[in-house]
Amino acid sequence: MKGAAKLGFPVVRLQYFASVAAERLIPYAEKLNLKMGYELHASLNIEAPITQGLLEQIDRLGSDRLNGEFRTFLKTKGWRQLDCRQNRLLGFARSCTAGSEGPVFR
Say what the pTM is. 0.66
Which positions are annotated as active-site residues?
41
66 in Cβ contact with 22 (< 8 Å): yes
How many angstroms separate the CA atoms of 19 and 89, rounded? Answer: 16
90 in Cβ contact with 82 (< 8 Å): yes
CA dihedral 19, 22, 23, 24 (to 10 degrees): 130
pLDDT tens-digit series, residues 3-44: 989 999 888 888 888 889 999 999 999 999 998 988 877 677
Quote the domain boundaries for residue 95. 2-105
State the pLDDT at residue 62: 86
pLDDT tens-digit series, residues 75-92: 555 555 566 666 666 665
State the pLDDT at residue 22: 92
State the pLDDT at residue 77: 53
Q: Which residues pair with 40 in a beta bridge?
A: none
Helix (H, G, I), strand (E, B) or coil at 69: strand
Counted domains in the chain: 1
